[in-house]
């Protein structure tokens, strides 16, 4: 606040703050311009300029989709759904204990156990399902099992992170009340914590299943089973109308998965 002939004047920011803000925005713009230059050094503009023609060409070859190809897609589709579902179950089963060990209000030791649980979560989350699948195909060989493990390992971190955040946000007075009755630790979890996190738990699990359906459609690209195997075969032979058919199947599956997960979430909350 400065005084200007006895009427107080209020400024949102001081002069220095204004300057710092202005400098901040200026350097952001400068950085953007610089990055744009750097990024497009190797761009061949001739290719970019005929991109619309290329897109129209491929689009033309995709249409109409090879509707008859669906007969060969049922089995991989079933595999895809199985990979997503079993992977989610595996991930959730491991994520539950990890979440309880990671939440500050339930962990047995903030100094030793919690960091380990957080490390598990970060390790699982930082690696994409596709990379997990690449690794696992190399370790346990190509096929459904590698896909299930890839989806499962990726899901642990996602589910555990959201679940431990839900555990940390519970109402502590309910926990106090149950502790005051002389309940043991297991009973406190059963009566005071689980009822509070159950809606979050179902919401998270179904959401993850929904994401996993989408992710498992591409795992076949690296040999982990499911629709992706068909997709990579069709891409390799430039059979664009088959690729289009696979896209249609993926789209339909994802729409159905989303509808199911929305219904389940409505039911539990």
Residues that bind other proteins (CB under 8 A): 104-108, 170-193, 195-196, 198-199
Q: Please, what is the Cα angle at 85 between 99 and 156, to 5 degrees?
A: 20
For the bound state, the minimum distance from the C-beta of residue 124 to other proteins, rounded and expressed in Å, comes to 24
50-to-47, 98, 235 alpha-carbon distances in Å:
6, 52, 21
Closest to 140 in 3D by CA, of 224, 227, 229:
224
* 17/187 with CB nearer other proteins: 187
For the bound state, the minimum distance from the C-beta of residue 205 to other proteins, rounded and expressed in Å, comes to 17
* 150/170 with CB nearer other proteins: 170
Whether a cis peptide bond, with omega within 30° of 0, leads into 64 is yes
* 57/190 with CB nearer other proteins: 190
For the bound state, the minimum distance from the C-beta of residue 156 to other proteins, rounded and expressed in Å, comes to 22
Residue 127 is encoded by which pair of tokens? Answer: 């690696």
For the bound state, the minimum distance from the C-beta of residue 107 to other proteins, rounded and expressed in Å, comes to 7
Q: Let me know: does 225 contact 79? Beta carbons within 8 Å.
A: yes
For the bound state, the minimum distance from the C-beta of residue 98 to other proteins, rounded and expressed in Å, comes to 16
* 180/236 with CB nearer other proteins: 180
CA–CA dist 255, 258 (Å, integer):
5
* 168/258 with CB nearer other proteins: 168
CA–CA dist 45, 49 (Å, integer):
6
Q: How many CB atoms lie within 10 A of CB 93?
A: 13
């Amino acid at each position: 606040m400065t005084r200007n002939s006895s009427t107080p004047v209020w400024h949102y920011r001081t002069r220095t703050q204004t300057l710092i803000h202005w400098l901040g925005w200026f350097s952001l713009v400068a950085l953007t311009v610089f990055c744009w230059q750097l990024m497009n050094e190797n761009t061949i503009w001739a290719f970019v300029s005929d991109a619309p023609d290329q897109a129209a060409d491929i689009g033309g070859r995709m249409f109409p989709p090879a509707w008859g190809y669906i007969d060969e897609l049922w089995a991989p589709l079933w595999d895809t759904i199985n990979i997503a579902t079993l992977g989610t179950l595996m991930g959730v089963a491991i994520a539950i204990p990890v979440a309880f060990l990671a939440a500050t209000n339930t962990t047995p030791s903030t100094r030793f156990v919690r960091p380990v649980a957080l490390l598990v979560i970060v390790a699982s989350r930082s690696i994409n399902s596709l990379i997990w699948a690449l690794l696992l195909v190399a370790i346990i060989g190509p096929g459904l099992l590698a896909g299930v493990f890839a989806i499962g390992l990726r899901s642990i971190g996602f589910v555990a992170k959201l679940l431990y955040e839900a555990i940390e946000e519970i109402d502590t007075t309910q926990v106090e009340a149950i502790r005051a009755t002389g309940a043991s630790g297991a009973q406190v979890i059963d009566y005071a914590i689980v009822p509070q996190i159950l809606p979050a738990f179902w919401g998270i699990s179904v959401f993850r299943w929904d994401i996993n359906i989408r992710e498992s459609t591409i795992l076949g690209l690296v040999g982990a089973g499911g629709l992706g195997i068909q997709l990579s075969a069709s891409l390799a032979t430039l059979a664009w109308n088959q690729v289009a058919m696979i896209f249609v199947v993926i789209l339909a599956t994802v729409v159905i998965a989303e509808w199911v997960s929305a219904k389940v979430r409505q039911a539990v909350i």
